[in-house]
Amino acid sequence: MVILHSRLMIVAALAMAAVAHADNYKVDAAHSSAVFKINHLGASNVYGMMPNVSGEIAFDENDASKNTLEISVDASSVSTFNGGRDKHLAGPDFFNAKQFPAITFKSTSWKKTGDGTYDISGEFTMLGVTKKLDVKATHIGYGKNRGGKDLAGFEATFTIDRTDYGMNYGVAAQGGIGKDVTITIAVEGIKQ
Amino acid sequence: MNVAAPVIFPALIAGLIWLIAGRLWKRTAAATFVWGGSSAIAVSFCAGHVALMGWPPFPPATAVHTLVFAGLIVGIVGIPESIWRSRLVIRWIIRAVLGGAAAWWQFNTLAEHTWTTPGTIGWLAVVTVTVCAMWEAIDTFAARHPSVTTPFTMWLTACATSVGLVFGASAMLGQLAGCLAAACGAAVVLALWSKTLPLDRGAAGAFAFITTGLLWQGYFYAELPLLSAGLFIVASVATCIIDALVPPNTKPIKHLTIVLSSIILISGAAIAVAFFEYRETAIEVGDYAY
């Protein structure tokens, strides 16, 4: 009887190991941000950031199929270090933050492509428009914060055509601002 | 797309529609002319929107897209509404239903994410009442002044709204009001050229929907002060009331001066409020040029 019980315990433990879930991380807003770059009048690139990032990541570096990512960026937090421009950017001409407060990305699949690099497919939503988006992401590394909690960091850079999301105002064809926006999202997650 | 296109297209299209309607009107009953005013405003605003930002998706993705479709719907509804001139109560019910639907269409995301239930009811009621009030005011004014006066007051209102919205941190909304001003400008030119054309008839509905929509979007989604948005709407309504209060024996030129002064003064006050708010913000957080 004791032997049977022990065997059952071993089988159960093996079964649990086989279905082990990825580690869950909650995005630390204080150490995460989204940075964007856009062409201005064909002459230069202007950079801005959205520091209010939230979300959750499930990450297993040994099995990418278990990984999931949900990120939300507060559109009203847009900052280009010029208050007047920030108000304009947050308004209906661009991010329309009062009508669409969040810009989101939700992964649908992860594929490991190398040491710490991944191709992530997902749905990117901005201005109420959702489109499929593929991004190349890098797992920066692990760490511990002052409270001793485990950390994991990720970064991804990708380019979107803002007009695909209905952000048509002032595009280059009108002698204004570029259509393509290069976005870098850097997130640090605290293990839950 | 050329920068001037959002102004030139609406003016040309509105002018063309009014001209065609005018030619047909000479052969038929006067009442049938209303399709001219109604569709001139709605279609020319649509053309301006397309020139400025491309064709809006359907269903509309953002509030500003809804104005194109709301304008076209009201433009169509405005035709039989203006021809048959149903009883005031029925007219107000139709307008209230359309106004309420347009208000919900434009601001439902605020209702879902920002407003409380009483706030939603209150704000939707306010937007609806302002749409109906402006529609009735311009319609009544147009019936009293079937000449260049009505398109001119609409042009003044649209120009002032455009300036106010630019100060309210949305060049896009300001330019869309500019499209409306261009269409009304075409009506003014045509009215001066041919004094017999009743250019204003039927235009009130689409004009009121688009103007109030732009103003409320300027307040809710951009930085247009509430007082400024309110004054722009009051300008149209007050002009109609002041016009009715002018004694009947007043000389036409004096009458016109009183009416135009009221719209200029109130709209000027609305622009001043928006400008000073803009200046204050610019001093606080920094100015910038697009």
Question: Which ipTM value was assigned to this complex?
Answer: 0.75
Q: Is B114's CB within 8 Å of A98's CB?
A: yes
A125-168 confidence digits (pLDDT tens): 999 899 999 999 999 999 999 889 999 999 999 999 998 998 88
- Tens digits of residue pLDDT in A44-60: 899 999 999 999 999 99
Strand partners, A44: A40
Tokens representing B263? 């719209």
Asked if A124 contacts A69 with a C-beta cutoff of 8 angstroms, the reply is no
Total number of residues shown for chain B: 290
Query: For chain B, what is the total number of helices (H) and then of strands (E)?
Result: 10, 0
DSSP 8-state symbol, B119: H
Cα dihedral B15→A170→A175→A78 (10° resolution): 160
As a residue count, chain A comes to: 192
* Domain assignments of chain B as residue spans, ordered by start: 5-285
Distances (CA, A) of A32 to A71, A81, A153, A189, B12: 11, 18, 9, 9, 51
Tens digit of pLDDT for each residue in B180-231? Answer: 999 999 888 888 887 666 655 678 888 999 999 999 999 999 989 999 999 9
- pLDDT: is B14 or A28 the higher one? A28
Which of B65, B278, B290 is most worth mutating to test chain A (most A CB atoms within 10 A of its CB)? B290
**In CATH, what number does A21-191 get?**
2.40.128.110
Give the containing element (helix H, strand E) for A117.
strand A117-126
Mean pLDDT of chain A: 88
B62–A128 CB contact, under 8 Å: yes
Q: How many CB pairs under 8 A join A and B?
A: 82
CB contact under 8 A, B220 and A163: no
pTM: 0.84
* Nearest-CA distance A137 → chain B (Å): 29
What is the arithmetic mean of pLDDT over B159-172? 90
